[in-house]
Amino acid sequence: MDLLSECAQIVELGRDAFSVPRSLTYRAAEAVIIHFDDLLGRLPDDRAARLPSALSLAAVRKTRKILSHDYRSARAEIVWDVIEQRIPQVILAVID
């Protein structure tokens, strides 16, 4: 639930705040995505079974790796989409 709240706070600040070079909002989004990957790795089997079939765990891990080690190659529009749409959808599916 914390990640869901953090995604909402980032989106509430808006795309303009997110898009400012070296913005704390963008850095917060990176941290949320990294923690999201950690969360997925610790899900109990009953909750993991609720993950959307379209979710690519390999893509989540690749995104995390890029953000953790080579942040300059990350595409901001992908990071925004993950924060605005993807993470909230997955979390809601798992906790529902």
pLDDT of residue 71: 65
Tens digits of per-residue pLDDT, 25-76?
A: 999 999 999 999 999 999 999 999 999 999 999 999 998 998 888 767 788 8
Is 37 exposed, middle or buried, given 0-12, 13-18 or 19+ CB atoms closer than 10 A? middle
Cα–Cα distance list, 64 to 13, 58, 85, 87, 96 (Å): 22, 10, 16, 13, 25
Where are the chain's structural domains?
Answer: 2-95
Residue that wins the pLDDT comparison between 74 and 80:
80
pLDDT of residue 22: 81
- Model pTM score: 0.89
How sure is the predictor about 21, in pLDDT bands with cuts at 50, 70 and 90? confident
